[in-house]
Structure 1
Amino acid sequence: MNEDAFWQLIEDCRPTEADPEAELLAPALTERLAQSPLSLVTGFAEQLSWALYYQLDRKEYGYDLSDDAFLYTRAAVVAAGRAVFEGVLQNPAAFTPYATKLIWAESLLYTPDRAYKRITGEEWDRNTRYSHESRSNTEGWAD
């Protein structure tokens, strides 16, 4: 899955009403992915890790959030769609409303795992290219 397909899938599954914590987005994505080839699920997981675990794992977004809060807040930025994500990359101040209001989209993190289990019937012991651990993007945290 390429970057454009990743963002299009998120856009296609986003509800029309406000859903800042992805409570409606995550099940819609899971359903769509579960009806797709397994390669789409793994591709989605890789693109999600790139956006969430690498691109947004930078000190200018870290604030004073715990590692979990920082991760879930970054997930909310991704769940908000490509325009918001790219806006945050261009202007770190655009991350502030997500961090200060503690908007968390934790459910987005488990979307590929749930789709994988629905397709295979097994738990997914996945490893993506980028670590899910906050502050693992050493370039993003360099002085």
Structure 2
Amino acid sequence: MNENAFWQLIEACTPSVPDAEGDELAAALTVHLANGPMPDVVGFAEQLSWALYQLDRREYGDGLSGDQFLYTRAAVVAAGREEYESVLLDPQRFKPYADGLIWAEALLYVPDDAYRQLTGDDWDRGTRYSYESYSNTAGWTPSDAGRLPRSPSR
């Protein structure tokens, strides 16, 4: 799954009614991915971790707890590509997500849940980029702030 397919899937599964916690989006994504093929589950996991990794920077997370920062970054991803890219360009757009405690924790479990539904097994696999808070060391180094690595699909 490339970056465009990832964002198209997010858009296609976004509920028409606001979903403050991201639960409905996560459920719809899981259903879609659980219908296979397996490479879509793996690709979704890679793109999700990449998107979260890009937001793992000091200008977004300074002063936030690890969990608050992770779940808030997930909410930015759940808001869709246009909002996500706007936040990347203007860190001030992240502030309402963090201040309003808008979270989308359920988005993080989509690949695992889809894999479990497809195979009946737990997924014991990592991704190229860690989405855990503060794992993007370049994003937390003052001299490298704002410099991002290339997308895995580019």
Q: Do they superpose with TM above 0.5?
A: yes
| 1:79 equivalent in alignment to 2:78 | yes
Counterpart secondary structure, 2:111: helix
Offset of residue 63 of structure 1: 3.2
Provide the C-alpha distance between the structure 2 equivalents of 1:61 and 1:20, rounded to a whole number of angstroms: 20
| 1:29 equivalent in alignment to 2:29 | yes
Opposite residue 15 of structure 1, the aligned amino acid is: P
Question: Does the Cα contact within 8 Å between 2:50 and 2:131 map onto a contact in 1?
Answer: no
Counterpart secondary structure, 2:59: helix
Comparing 30-39 with 124-133, greater Cα deviation is found at 124-133
Offset of residue 20 of structure 1: 3.0
Provide the C-alpha distance between the structure 2 equivalents of 1:73 and 1:21, rounded to a whole number of angstroms: 10
Offset of residue 132 of structure 1: 2.7
Residue number in structure 1 paired with 2:7:
7
Q: Compute the TM-score of the two structures, normalised by the length of structure 1.
A: 0.97
1:20-99 to 2 correspondences below 5 Å: 20-52=20-52, 54-99=53-98
Question: Does the Cα contact within 8 Å between 2:75 and 2:97 map onto a contact in 1?
Answer: yes
Deviations 1:78-129 (A, max 9, x none): 0000011000001000000000011110000000100000000000012001
Which contiguous aligned blocks of 4+ residues in structure 1 show a shift greater than 2 angstroms?
A: none
Any gaps of 5 or more consecutive residues in structure 2?
143-154
Offset of residue 141 of structure 1: 0.7
Q: Compute the TM-score of the two structures, normalised by the length of structure 2.
A: 0.90
Query: Once the two structures are aligned, what percentage of the paired residues are identical?
Result: 65
Opposite residue 22 of structure 2, the aligned amino acid is: A
Provide the C-alpha distance between the structure 2 equivalents of 1:132 and 1:2, rounded to a whole number of angstroms: 18
Offset of residue 19 of structure 1: 1.2
Opposite residue 73 of structure 1, the aligned amino acid is: T
Question: Does the Cα contact within 8 Å between 1:20 and 1:79 map onto a contact in 2?
Answer: no
Any gaps of 5 or more consecutive residues in structure 1?
none
Matched length: 142
